[in-house]
């Protein structure tokens, strides 16, 4: 599978929730499943830094009727930047930190290949965050949890892995899971353009971060899907092995599939 062979999942105008200061807020609806269903629009979203929601952006998000927000960032990120403004828009807010520390340049291990780095980093994240991924999934599967959004800082890595698990449990084919992940590349471009325009100092800091950290390489997600299939029998089996209850997955499927 190559990027050129991925399905075009970004052309539907419902996919991206267009906001000014949040750049990767996307609907997980409209994806086909292996058993002939389609994921429902307006039920589950993935996003980047929702702590930036203010003014018109927050009013647009209010219209989505969110009931649940799951923040996957570290304690340090929350302390430094804040959270979704749940005081202004009450939701069932959950902080589920997938990893203890964000990446540092030392994590690159002298590798210039972004796909190799991301594959290693994602495998490590899956191992470290097993219990917390299970916690996040159970919360998304809970009665009355939807509409919901889960997010991290860029909406790419922690968010991308949780989106992969959700879509895998819904039997969305690998090529659509990878295509959904790949849409983050455009989100990162929007983020950089916004930062350059509004916060030059932030843009400068972003430019100093290793390029692999902000890359969304389809091959990396494809390799993770292959690993889960070889080692665990697929995404759903992996999720069950994490401890997510079969009835929770059944409830999510009932809520998310046409």
What domains sit in the chain, N to C, each tagged with a CATH number? 3-256 (3.90.190.10)
- Edge-first strand order for the sheet with 26-27 is 26-27, 44-47, 148-151, 68-71, 92-95
Which residues are CB-neighbours of 59 under 8 A, at least 6 positions away? Answer: none
**Residue spans of alpha helices (H) in the chain:** 55-62, 75-81, 114-128, 130-141, 158-169, 174-182, 184-198, 200-208, 211-214, 218-232, 235-242, 246-256
**Helix or strand run (H / E) with residue 148:** strand 148-151
Per-residue tokens: 116: 């190799």
pLDDT at 148: 98
Residue 25 contacts residue 17 (beta carbons within 8 Å): yes
Helix (H, G, I), strand (E, B) or coil at 38: strand
Per-residue tokens: 163: 């989106």
**C-alpha angle 228/182/36, rounded to 5°?**
65
pLDDT at 112: 67
Q: What's the CA gap between 180 and 200, in Å, rounded?
A: 29
pLDDT at 109: 67
Find residue 45's DSSP bridge partners.
27, 149
Which residues are CB-neighbours of 84 under 8 A, at least 6 positions away? Answer: 50, 51, 53, 69, 71, 91, 93, 151
Per-residue tokens: 256: 């998310």
C-alpha Rg value of the chain to the nearest Å: 17
**DSSP character string of 168-208:** HHTT--HHHHHHHHHTHHHHHHHHHHHHHHH-HHHHHHHHH
Q: What is the mean pLDDT of each run of 10 residues along the chain (258 residues)?
A: 78 96 97 98 97 95 97 96 93 96 76 87 96 98 97 96 98 98 94 88 82 90 98 98 98 97
Q: What's the CA gap between 168 and 244, in Å, rounded?
A: 13
Per-residue tokens: 48: 């980047």
pLDDT at 103: 82
Residue 71 contacts residue 84 (beta carbons within 8 Å): yes
pLDDT at 37: 98
């Amino acid at each position: 599978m190559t990027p050129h062979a991925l399905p075009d999942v970004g052309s539907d105008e419902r996919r991206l929730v267009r906001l000014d200061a949040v750049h990767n807020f996307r609907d997980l609806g409209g994806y086909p499943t292996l058993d002939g269903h389609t994921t429902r629009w307006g039920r589950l979203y993935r996003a980047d830094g929702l702590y930036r929601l203010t003014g018109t952006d927050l009013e647009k998000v209010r219209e989505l009727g969110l009931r649940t927000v799951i923040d996957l960032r570290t304690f340090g990120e929350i302390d430094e930047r804040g959270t979704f403004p749940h005081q202004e828009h009450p939701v069932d807010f959950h902080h589920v930190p997938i990893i203890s520390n964000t990446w540092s340049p030392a994590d690159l291990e002298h590798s210039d290949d972004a796909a190799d780095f991301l594959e290693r980093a994602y495998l490590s994240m899956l191992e470290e965050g097993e219990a917390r991924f299970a916690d996040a999934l159970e919360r998304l599967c809970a009665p009355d949890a939807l509409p919901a959004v889960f997010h991290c800082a860029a909406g790419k890595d922690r968010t991308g892995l949780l989106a992969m698990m959700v879509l895998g449990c819904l039997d969305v084919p690998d090529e659509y899971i990878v295509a959904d992940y790949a849409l983050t590349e455009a989100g990162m471009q929007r983020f950089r353009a916004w930062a350059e325009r509004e916060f030059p100092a932030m843009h400068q800091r972003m430019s100093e971060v290793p390029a692999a950290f902000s890359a969304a390489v389809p091959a990396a997600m494809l390799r993770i899907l292959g690993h889960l299939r070889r080692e665990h029998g697929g995404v759903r089996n992996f999720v069950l092995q994490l401890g997510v209850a079969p009835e929770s997955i059944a409830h999510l499927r009932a809520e998310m599939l046409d």
